[in-house]
Amino acid sequence: MKRSVYIIFIYVFLFLFSFGLNIKGVTQDEIINNLQQVTEQLKSAIENICPPNSYLKNGLCYCNEGLVWNEKSTECITYNQACQSKYGSNTYGDKNYDKRISNRHCKGVQ
């Protein structure tokens, strides 16, 4: 899901949350304090969408420098791990590794 969708969701949630508190007679300071707490919790949840060793940019997760997605695109692994999982333990990869281009950047493939 794109980050913009999450942000819109946050604003709608915050609006409904503050509206509900206002009906109950909660003071404006209490509403602001509660909204700040909820906002921090939602920011933390959004930042933890991507797996370890990756980052969120423009609504998509990218592996950190020196890493690539595993075959299932569920975690970031080293070039060597990518080659070894595909071609065996006697292979290693380089920074030009691309799983879409056969074994082009895996060394030691027979």
Cβ–Cβ under 8 Å, residues 64 and 76? yes
Q: Mean pLDDT of all residues in the chain?
A: 76
Buried b (16+ CB within 10 A) or exposed e, 15-38: eeebeebeeeeeeeeebeeebeee
Please provide the distance, in angstroms rounded to a whole number, between the alpha carbons at the two ends of the chain.
40
CA distances from 3 to 8, 49, 61, 76, 110 (A): 9, 10, 10, 20, 43
| pTM check: above 0.75 | no
pLDDT at 25: 66
Above 70 in pLDDT, residue 28? yes
